[in-house]
Structure 1
Amino acid sequence: MPSSTPLVAFVIGSGPNIGGSVASLLKEQGYAVAVGSRNPDVDKVKKEGYFPVQVEATQQASISAAFAAVNAALGPPNVVVYNPVIHREPTDVSDPSTLPLEAFKDVIAIGSNVFFAIQEALKGFRSSKHEDTLKAFIVTGNALPADKALSPFYFSLDIQKIIESRIVGQLAGANEKDGFVYATLVADDGGIPPYDLFLDIHAKVYWESINRKEGPWDHRFTLDGKKLTKLTMNRGP
């Protein structure tokens, strides 16, 4: 990789947990890192060494403007992490049909807008600036789409991640070189882990995913980061 190639990462949905951990590791590894959130604390983010970006993942115009801001300030990213999430509870937590329609629309928007974010990212991935640079588009997943014991309480998260995983899987099959990954922390048995296990292991696994030349797009990993569950799908055909 030429030394003049700028290493730029854009974390969409950068909070104190997964997004923040991933952004921190990428900065340590020499990346210029843009962090996107609904209401960034601009001064704080700049002092921490990141480029702050306002982005509302339910709105395509906001995503487009965010990429334009990153491109102008840092250059096109060769790594994009799509980490926004919405959890909205049904009015009756035993009946998913009671999820308010506006909440359902936001859930669908965040899930489907991963496709729009991918299209924006690919403009940079396929530019001459990143011709010889490793590329990765990583979506933070969860195990809900594979869970057979469906819970109405998590209906909004389930729907969102089903949409995202299908989009990533389809695009990965046709665009292996662009490094699409749907990354999911799972329990040792492959199921849903306890909710509070959002630790720095994501940053480690995401970093490994960025630097590999091939591997599964449906990347399920356990808390130790080493014991990977049996993968049912692979990146590419």
Structure 2
Amino acid sequence: MSLVAFIIGAGPHIGAAVGTILKQNGYRVALGSRNPKTDKETEEGFYPVKVDASSSESIQAAFQAVNAELGPPNVVIYNAASFVPLPTPEDPLSLHLESFQSSTAVGLGVFAAAQQAITGFRSGVHKDSPKAFIVTGNLLPFVSALPAYTSLDIQKVVAARLVETFATAYKDDIRFYFASLVSPSGELPKGDFPKSAETHAQVYWELINSRTQGNWDHRFTLDGKKLPGYERS
């Protein structure tokens, strides 16, 4: 059975870079997004699939499509995110309830995606293949609340807790990571993120091929190295 990866939230930055490195290493790659560039992505050798990460039904349907076309994925990258600016700066309760709910749903989508993924992980098709589920994270769940980022904050908090739970429950044979780019001092990376696509791709590739479950809260710097001296119990 061929190696299969499904990237949910496959945009032109991290998603594209991760998809490329996986394809270069023999993976058949499904690129999931709300508005897939079907012709372009197909020509480049990818399998485009429509998915809305805020909808569990859409996630389930997308996995069904990937399973039917490529087979069950042994690698899932959850790169989806939603940021809605506050209508009134520094006033989190000015955020429309619908926006808050849809942003939270993107975090909850991690559960729906992992639930679909584990069926393939356990199917025996990928008995000897690496099995990994990686969420593109950030430091919002681990720092003091930043009101301006309320919509993004809540989804990352939910995602981080889910990844920690899954990494604890399935550590014997499946890898779960919440992978976050940080500054060399371990803080929010500020201007590093726009130039970090290739770094994310290389770090994710290394995590996918790790033989044992490492620290689920994986923090790395722009040079691709794990944050020095950092370990989370």
**TM superposition score category, shorter chain reference:** over 0.9
What does residue 203 of structure 1 align with?
Answer: 201
- Residue of structure 2 in register with 1:114 after alignment: 110
Q: How many angstroms apart in 2 are the aligned matches of 1:174 and 1:136?
A: 14
The one-letter code sitting in structure 1 at the alignment partner of 2:163 is V
* Partner residue in 2 for 1:193: 189
Whole-Å separation in 1 of the counterparts to 2:106 and 2:230: 26
Q: For residues 63-119 of structure 1, what are the alpha-carbon distances to aligned partners after superposition, in whole Å with 9 as ceiling and x for unaligned? A: 011000000000000000001100001111211111111110111111011011000
Partner of 2:219: 220
Aligned residues: 229
Deviation at 1:13, TM superposition (A): 0.3
Pair 1:165-2:160 in alignment: yes
Unmatched segments (≥5 aa) in structure 2 = none
Verify the 8 A CA contact 2:53 2:80 in the aligned structure 1. Answer: yes
Q: Give, in whole Å, the separation in 2 of the partners of 1:230 and 1:114.
A: 29
- Structure 2: how far apart are the matches of 1:23 and 1:10? 9
TM-score with structure 2 setting the length? 0.95
Q: Is 2:101 the counterpart of 1:105?
A: yes
The 2-side partners of 1:30 and 1:205 are apart by: 17
Aligned residue for 1:58, secondary structure, equals coil
Amino acid paired to 2:88:
D
2:69 to 73, 92, 108: 73
Report if aligned partners of 1:10, 1:35 keep a CA contact under 8 Å in 2.
Answer: yes
Deviation at residue 229 of structure 1 after TM alignment: 3.8
2:148 partner SS: helix
Aligned with 1:19 (options 12, 15, 23): 15
CA-CA distance at 1:156 after TM superposition: 1.1
Does 2:131 align with 1:132? no
Residue 136 of structure 2 contacts residue 180 of structure 2 at CA under 8 Å; is this kept in 1? Answer: yes
Gaps of 5+ in 1: none
Corresponding residue of 1:156: 151
The answer as to whether partners of 1:141 and 1:182 remain within 8 angstroms in 2 is yes
Structure 1 match to 2:54 = 58
TM-score (norm 1): 0.93
Tell me which stretches of 4 or more aligned residues in structure 1 moved more than 6 Å: none
Give 3-state SS (helix, strand or coil) of 1:102's partner.
helix
**Contact 1:14–1:37 (CA under 8 A) maintained in structure 2:** yes
Match 1:8 to one of 1, 4, 16 = 4
